[in-house]
């Protein structure tokens, strides 16, 4: 049996990158006033993670800038690597997990969830 555990992470875009996106949106999508983002981690394991394994994974995946984005209320878009590919980030994260004794884990992948804030 395989299990996928989903953990939400920290803010994915800096204020600078949000500003750049909003500038690109300005002409075609003027109703977009802000972009929230957060990392989302997909942990594929052979069986459900134990409490100890889950705490270890959470500590490994706690990084980056905290902010209001980590509590997105509405996700409009999720971006993940193409099906059938393994990102360099996933290869490294999975290697690190295995090196910390998390042999139950088959793979850790990361995506980004985006929430668009619009004028009412």
The enclosing H or E element of 37 equals strand 32-45
Nearest to 102 by CA among 51, 56, 48: 56
Averaged confidence pLDDT in the chain = 91
> Is 102 or 70 the better-scoring residue by pLDDT?
102
Residue 23 predicted with pLDDT over 70? yes
- For residue 31, CA distances in Å to 22, 25, 51 come to 10, 9, 44
Residue 42 predicted with pLDDT over 80? yes
pLDDT digit string (tens) for 72-91?
Answer: 677 789 999 998 899 999 99
Q: How confident is the model at residue 101 (pLDDT cuts 50, 70, 90)?
A: very high
Answer whether 35's CB lies under 8 Å from 91's CB: no
36, β-bridge pairs: 115
Q: What are phi and psi of 80, to 5 degrees?
A: -135, 165
For range 45-54, the mean pLDDT: 97
């Amino acid at each position: 049996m395989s299990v996928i555990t989903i953990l939400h992470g920290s803010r994915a875009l800096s204020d600078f990158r949000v500003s750049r996106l909003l500038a690109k949106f300005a002409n075609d999508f003027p109703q977009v006033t802000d972009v929230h983002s957060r990392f989302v981690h997909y942990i594929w394991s052979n069986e459900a993670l134990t409490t100890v394994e889950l705490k270890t994974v959470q500590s490994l995946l706690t990084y980056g800038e905290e902010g209001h984005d980590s509590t997105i209320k509405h996700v409009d878009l999720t971006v993940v690597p193409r099906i059938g590919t393994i990102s360099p980030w996933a290869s490294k994260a999975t290697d690190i997990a295995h090196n910390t004794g998390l042999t139950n884990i088959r793979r850790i992948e990361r995506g980004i969830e985006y929430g668009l804030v619009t004028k009412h």
